[in-house]
Amino acid sequence: MLRVLNLRRHTFPRLAAVVAFVALTVPTGVVVTAESADTREAVVSVKGMMCSMCARGLETRLSKLGDAKAAKVNLDKEQAIVTFPANTKVTDKEIEKTVADAGFNAVKIEWRTTGGKDGSGTLAKAEFQIEGMHCERCAANLAKVLQQHPGVRSADVNFESKIARGTYEAGSTDTKSIAKTIESLGVFKAKPVKVEPVAGSNNGSSTPQTSRGVRQ
């Protein structure tokens, strides 16, 4: 019995060392491939959120929806972006129900397929000359509308220069679509005056798939 115990005492540390070595030398390419696979994103416009706790609660619910890989909710933009595998079976109705169960209203859902490790796509910057602004409130309201446009990462509007600037995902939207959103308000005219890529942005791509209008 003593001999067996001594054998175990010497064998187990060696076995543990071998397991640790194997774990450290196993190639990690499979993990990287999985991260870089195509995914689908549901961009959801949400009404009814009042505070950061609202956004956090909705984010938690959406992250557990079906085979969701991640969920991000932006309170200022009134927008949620839920990332799914490319072959997800989650439907608009399921997303709408999840949002409704959280106490809010999903007024618009847009699907897009993304590629690249983070799915963000190539970024671009654009400037628009705006006609029709009469005050600082006009500029602030327009900036908020631009920030809600799918694919727009950030936006600001300068009342004095009458210039609107935005950074957006070039594969998700374009200046024509952004200008259309500006002019859909019925009070502004937008003319692109400058467009340029963002240095160092991801070389992935994202392609819009389907878009749903505002629900009455």
The CATH number assigned to the domain holding 96 equals 3.30.70.100
Domain that holds residue 192: 123-200
For residue 40, the cross-strand partners are: 84, 113
Residue 26 lies in a domain: no
Alpha carbon distance 12, 155 (integer Å): 60
What residues contact 64, with CB distance under 8 A and at least 6 apart?
A: none
pLDDT values of the chain reduced to their tens digit, one per residue, 216 residues? 545 445 455 554 554 443 343 333 333 322 222 233 467 889 999 999 999 899 999 999 999 999 998 899 999 889 999 989 888 899 999 999 999 999 999 999 988 776 544 444 588 999 999 999 999 999 999 998 998 888 888 899 999 999 999 998 887 789 999 999 999 999 999 999 989 887 655 544 444 444 444 443
Alpha carbon distance 214, 74 (integer Å): 18
Regarding whether 88 and 147 lie in a shared domain, the answer is no
Regarding whether 57 and 105 lie in a shared domain, the answer is yes
Residue 108 lies in a domain: yes
Residue 10 lies in a domain: no
Residue 127 lies in a domain: yes
Regarding whether 132 and 111 lie in a shared domain, the answer is no
Helix (H, G, I), strand (E, B) or coil at 120: coil
Q: How many domains, in total, are found in the chain?
A: 2
CA distances from 28 to 17, 18, 31, 194 (A): 20, 18, 6, 43
Residue 20 lies in a domain: no
Residue 11 lies in a domain: no
Regarding whether 149 and 189 lie in a shared domain, the answer is yes
Regarding whether 128 and 113 lie in a shared domain, the answer is no
Regarding whether 137 and 83 lie in a shared domain, the answer is no
Question: Is residue 142 within 8 Å of 185, Cβ to Cβ?
Answer: yes
Neighbour tally for 10: CB within 10 Å: 9
Regarding whether 138 and 83 lie in a shared domain, the answer is no
Regarding whether 113 and 142 lie in a shared domain, the answer is no
Q: What is the pTM of this model?
A: 0.46
Regarding whether 94 and 149 lie in a shared domain, the answer is no
Residue 6 lies in a domain: no
Residue 145 lies in a domain: yes
